[in-house]
Structure 1
Amino acid sequence: MELKSIKDAFDRVANKHKLSYTKTHEIVQMLSQELDKALSLMQDTQLDHKSILVDAKKLFTEKSPVAQLESAEKELNVALTKYPKVLEKQLNPEISKAYRTNAEFDTHIVNQIIANFFYRQGMFEIGDCFVAETGESECTTRQSFVEMYQILEAMERRDLEPALTWAGANSERLKQARSDLEMKLHSLQFLKISQGQNSQEALSYARKHFAVYADSCLYEIQKLVCSLLWDKNLEQSPYSEFLSPVLWDNAVREMTRQYCNLLGESSESPLSVTVTAGTQALPVLLKYINVMANKKLDWQSVEQLPVAVELPEEFQFHSVFVCPVSKEQSSEDNPPMMMSCGHVLCKQTITRMSKNGAKTSFKCPYCPTDIDSTRCKQLHF
């Protein structure tokens, strides 16, 4: 979106409103002063009241306050009329032209993605209603997300038993994923017991559950145990951080992430990520389409966009390589190849530069090194 255009339009309206207010204030002040002056003169019984009123009327006619007010109001109304049009153009563009008419969609897959989104968000009734109305089979992940939300809802109530049970059952898989979720959950349970001012029970819990983490989390364990010395005044202690609700929020996020990870799902909804990324890329695409339309070119037949669509790092999930010579993205059939000089080109580019294998050597397009095509090495991202 062209936020600058919206801001400029808003600033114009704000400036016109300020000028209109200033002008109105000046005119009202002038009228007030002239009326006060006329009333003051009329209090003198020796003066002709009629001539005073005639002079006042003549002054008002010359100053034409109504015309001045109308002029200022007209300029403000013009700016106010244009502003919604700018908003409509920038915030509600015609996005249907970004849709490729030759694109093929698998309705079943799209419906499953939408149903999976509802279940992932915990909206099980809406998901069930959607599945029933579309006639789709039940989403395979539904029951798993039901279990996940039962665990998360228990954590919101500060009940860690369901989460600890799940983490214990999946302990080996969590270790393979190098997750410290189980330690986080045991730490929260320890703090919950200690904040109940039951130090002996908290120590017993620590001896039972912290020993296996002594090598990797010794410093954290030491802090947790030392916090027992301040159990009656923890908020004034060096360990007041253990009272922060952020610890629970982090545990909930890690629980969600690891549950989805072991389920073979991403921690973020694919539909949400797709829509968010598409929303950020759409303005660039629409601008490109408008340029193509002005040049009477059909973008529907373009296989690769000639413009870069920059997205934040959170939307970059895989490393890619684009050949600097052919501008083509690498693939399994056309992998990136590193030459002896250290520069990288795609395999098909190297083949073309070596005259389709007719000769083995050619000059690197980026440095004066003679390259032996047989010595190029494939890179793996």
Structure 2
Amino acid sequence: MVRKTPSKTVPERAARVTIIDVAKRAGVHWSTVSRALNPEKRHLISPEMIERVETCVREMGYRANALASGLRTQRSHTIGVIVSHLGDPVHPPIVRAIEDCFAEIGYVTIVGNTDNYPGRQGALIERFIRQGVEGLAIATFARNDPDVDVCVEANIPTVSVFRAAESELIPSVRVDDTRAMEIVVAHLADHGHRRIAHIAGPQNVSTGYHRYRGFRRACRARAGDGVSPSVVFAAEFTVEDGETACAQLLREHPDITAISAANDMLAVGALRHLRANQIRCPSQISLVGMNNMQFMDAIAPALTTIHTPTADLGIQAAKLLIAMINDTPIETNRIVLTPELVVRDSVARIRSVARSDADLAAS
């Protein structure tokens, strides 16, 4: 293992009754509690439901977030988008798509970067709420992130995009990361690769976790073909971690013939190590990335990768958020988009398999 994923620093919060607690007591979704307590929206639910919620509120001593309630009495026509880093080529298309969708209805988009710094996401959420944004699209949620509760308690429409918070409290829009790795392993196995490694992302975020699980599951499914996985964890989705992980991977597993990287940044780092050590790609080591970032077709060799429909992620997230802001029913709160393999030059059929095929053709 390269190094452990840094643990998320969670600020201590005073124990108090939240809107989520009231919803659980009443046996309803938190948005129903929100409507019951909002004079402008309580007509959307039955009088019996209103009475049930108000009873739970009294019994539990719930007090609404006064700051958030006050800020949301007027329409600001702004929304907030939080990403880990706009320098990551995955995020700009998502942000642009969200911005374009909201611009069509007269909204302004404010963007914040966390730089993967613990605590910065929570600070940005609080700042956006204070600024009176009408909704949030967050691409940085960890799995089971406590900041989800902050958004819910503030009664602010929130959508998780790209990375899923894996919470029933808010909708999410993501790509099928598990299926993506199944496609990668199948592609490599079909080219004769049996010793396949995976440079994984951090396991506290859905992208790293589900890609890792998808890789392992795909290898188990091809075990009858002799596919055997070797895994190295990288701490973050960075070029530097990809380089470090690849170095350790080849030291510990010199017999591998292919590497599946959990994103293109890690793949580029792995390719950097291969070049520095005169290891030819793809003739000695085949390499596959994930996300199909810009310019992956311009490096040498051009990177075979999985296309992540980033613009569609942003569009679908914007549609969900607009519906939530307008209190319009949504058909589903879990949107999962389909990944596609982009075949380029970084994967080759291993020589032993190529010779076997030639022998069969000759016979």
Instruction: Provide TM-score, normalisation by structure 1.
Output: 0.19
Higher relative contact order, structure no. (Cα contacts within 8 Å, ≥ 6 residues apart): 2
Q: Point out the structure with max Rg over C-alpha.
A: 1
The normalised TM-score by structure 2 is 0.20
Higher helix share: 1
Q: Which has the higher strand share?
A: 2
